[in-house]
Amino acid sequence: MSLPEVRSPAARVRWESQLLPAAGHQVYVRTFDPGSDTAPWLVWAHGGSWRAGSVDGWHQACADLARHAGTTVVSVDYRLAPGHRHPAALLDVLTALDWAERRSGRPAAVGGDSAGGTLAACAALVRRDAGRQAAAQVLAYPPVDPDCRAASYGRHPGAFPPRAALLAAWRDYRGAARRHPLSRRSERPPLYSTPDEAESFAGLPPTVLAVGGLDPVADDVRALARRLRAAGNTVDLGEFDDLPHGTFLTDPGLRRWLGTAYTRRAA
């Protein structure tokens, strides 16, 4: 699949910042408004291997996504590992999702790129378990397997991120956690650290997934799409042969594809 050609859009997106109250801290968010009172809302978690990234660093990309999708995008400055391990980042995304729904008066979608996509997929699962389904999930190349076992991790030598770096990022994010069914854990609803922990994918919202053929997490994303479809969910999977990891920040064509696919599902 090839990415769409993108010309620089003329319309400007308004933005504002908010501090949201949470348990013992505040969650900083930046809201990008495309100028429509009827626009759907999408909460976005940035990438950065759970250890880096910020609302500032993702400002232009989220503004572009709001413009291309015609949606209000809420970018979340979630707490970072290793200073704040799981479930801190997930709880911050859920706080932003709750706030977006109170502000808009309707269900919001949740999305993210790379590590943020992992968080968004986990937030969608938590919402499903609580009987409060998100409107959609929009996931750009999310890592899924903490053990990084798929063939795509070694398919393109030198590809970013290398397997060793991603394994270290998973450890910093999850601490001593190991793969196990969450039915053995005490959280209700469970606070997933990866969608791979969920015993069932049934009843999830419409999903938009994107990944590049040069991305080490490509097989993770394909497996996630298969599992979602097998559980009866609607999935749009965009596979872009020459795309590496991390291109949500750098490729407006990917942002346009994500925005268009999401708009189609949000309609």
How much is the pLDDT for 9? 52
User: Tokens standing for 45?
Assistant: 């978690």
Task: At 13, give phi and psi (nearest 5°).
Answer: -110, 125
186 is catalytic: no
Four-CA torsion 217, 254, 106, 22, nearest 10 degrees:
60
How much is the pLDDT for 11? 61
How much is the pLDDT for 180? 44
User: Tokens standing for 99?
Assistant: 């706030």
Give the whole-angstrom CA distance, residue 205 versus residue 258.
16
How much is the pLDDT for 7? 57
145 is catalytic: no
Helix-helix angle 115-129:88-104, to 10 degrees: 70
- Asked if omega into 34 is within 30° of 0 (cis), the reply is no
Residue-wise pLDDT for 104-137, tens only, equals 999 999 999 999 999 999 999 999 999 999 999 9
Selected catalytic residue, list 49, 75, 114, 152: 114
Selected catalytic residue, list 196, 219, 245, 251: 245
Selected catalytic residue, list 129, 215, 236, 251: 215
How much is the pLDDT for 19? 98
3-state DSSP assignment of residue 42 = strand
Kindly provide the residue ranges of all beta strands, DSSP E only, lying in the chain, ordered along the sequence: 14-22, 25-33, 41-45, 72-77, 109-113, 137-140, 207-212, 235-240
Beta bridge partners of 111: 44, 138
Residue-wise pLDDT for 62-82, tens only, equals 999 999 999 999 999 999 999
How much is the pLDDT for 37? 81
Give the whole-angstrom CA distance, residue 46 versus residue 202.
26
How much is the pLDDT for 189? 73
From first to last of the 267 residues of the chain, give the pLDDT tens digit: 666 665 555 468 999 999 999 999 999 999 999 988 888 999 999 999 999 999 999 999 999 999 999 999 999 999 999 999 999 999 999 999 999 999 999 999 999 999 999 999 999 999 999 999 999 999 999 999 999 999 999 999 999 999 999 999 999 999 975 544 444 455 567 999 999 999 999 999 999 999 999 999 999 999 999 999 999 999 999 999 999 999 999 999 999 999 999 998 776
215 is catalytic: yes
How much is the pLDDT for 187? 57
